[in-house]
Amino acid sequence: QVQLAESGGGSVQSGGSLTLSCAVSEYRDYTLGWFRQAPGKEREGVASIDVDDSTIYAESVKGRFTIFRDNAKTTLYLQMTRLQSEDTAVYYCAAGAHPPSVFFDVLVRRADAGHWGQGTQVTVSS
C-alpha cells in the first residue's frame, strides 16, 4: 500500500510563500494531488499531477500555487506563493488510481478511494 507523509507546513504572513513536501513510499501510475480542509469546511482539491505530469489547479489557487515532483517521482511538492488568510487549512497529499478529470471529486466524496498522508497545518495571518 502506498504511504504518504507531508512536511513543510507552518505559519506565514499574508503575501508570503511556503513549500509543502510529500514523501511517497513507492512510485505507481497514480494521480497525485494536494487537498486542503479549513475548519468547518469540506475538504477540497487544490492541485493534481498525473503520470504524464499534466496538472490541474483549483481556480482559487491558479497562478499562485505550483505542483511538481522530483525526477524519481517519490516526492511531491506544492509551492505556494502570495498566500492569503483564506489559504489557512490542513493540507493533505493523496494518491489514487483515478483520471485527473475526476480525481478531486472521487477523493472528496470517498476518502477510502485513495491513499492519504496525515496532513500538515498551514496558517496564514493577515
pLDDT for residue 125 is more than 90: yes
Amino acid 21: pLDDT: 98
Q: Is the pLDDT of residue 27 over 90?
A: no
Beta strands in the chain (DSSP E): 4-7, 10-13, 18-24, 31-37, 44-49, 55-57, 65-69, 75-80, 89-96, 115-116, 120-125
Task: Quote the cell numbers at residue 34.
Answer: 494536494
- Per-residue pLDDT of 45-88, as tens digits, reads 999 999 999 999 999 999 999 999 998 889 999 999 999 999 99
pLDDT of 4:
97
Question: Which percentage of the chain shows pLDDT scores above 70?
Answer: 100
Residue 1 pLDDT: 87
Non-local (6+) Cβ contacts of 95 within 8 A are 2, 4, 24, 28, 30, 31, 32, 33, 114, 115
Q: Which residue is listed with cell 496538472?
A: 55
- Position 77, amino acid: Y
Structure confidence at residue 71 (pLDDT)? 82
What does the block give as the cell for 114?
A: 485513495
Strands 89-96 and 75-80, by their bridges, are unpaired
pLDDT of residue 83: 98
Q: What is the mean pLDDT of the chain?
A: 96
